[in-house]
Amino acid sequence: REEEFLSVGNRAMRKSRRYLEEARLPEGVSAVKGGAFADCRRLYRVSLSETCGVGVGTEAFRGCIRLHEVLPFAGIVSIGERAFFGCTMLREIPMGEQLRAVGAYAFAHCASLEEAVLPSRVSSVGKGAFSDCTELIRFRAEEGITALAPELLRGCISLCEVTLPEGLAEIP
């Protein structure tokens, strides 16, 4: 009998964190809950379904130091606090138009991240979301975004290009 698989639970992979290298989440998964894959130090790739919106919970992938690919990132609708904190090998995050919220410190300390683009429908960006991304070269917030969080790009020492929308009410 086939059962519906809707989410990956809180700290679901904690006993597999030393061995897990790749995760393929089937169609129908709508949430990766808090700490689900936290500290899976060998995890290098996560594959999501292309057709449904997925919420990534607080610290879902925190400390996955070898994680370099989450595909397709376009299916993610929300990213919780510290969701990818310390994923030092994560190089790109092609956020899709479905994305609505990015939590505090969501991508902090992602040392290999080179570019970040916030899609126009993002209505909430948490404090320090991209802080200490030391290899971040380009940051763009698309038209439609009206507010950015404090310390958003703190410690991004390689930043060369920042593009902000005309409608931005305040730069904290």
Query: What are 22-33's pLDDT values in tens digits?
Result: 888 877 787 888
Instruction: Look at residue 162 and tell me whether its pLDDT is greater than 80.
Output: yes
Q: What percent of the chain has pLDDT over 70?
A: 88
Contact present, 162 and 148 (Cβ < 8 Å)? no
Among the ranges given (13-17, 102-106, 148-152, 167-171), the one the predictor scored with the smallest mean pLDDT: 13-17
Instruction: Look at residue 136 and tell me whether its pLDDT is greater than 80.
Output: yes
Whole-angstrom distance, CA of residue 94 vs CA of residue 7:
22
> Could you tell me how far CA 74 lies from the centroid of its own chain?
11
What's the length of the chain?
172
Return the amino acid letter for 36: A
pLDDT of res. 12: 54
Return the amino acid letter for 22: E
pLDDT tens-digit profile of 58-67? 999 999 999 9
Among the ranges given (5-14, 103-112, 159-168), the one the predictor scored with the smallest mean pLDDT: 5-14
Instruction: Look at residue 5 and tell me whether its pLDDT is greater than 70.
Output: no
Joined tokens for residue 17: 């964190």
pLDDT tens-digit profile of 31-81? 888 888 899 999 999 988 766 678 899 999 999 999 998 887 777 889 999
Contact present, 50 and 26 (Cβ < 8 Å)? no
pTM, full prediction: 0.89
Whole-angstrom distance, CA of residue 70 vs CA of residue 23:
10
> Mean pLDDT over residues 104-122, rounded?
96
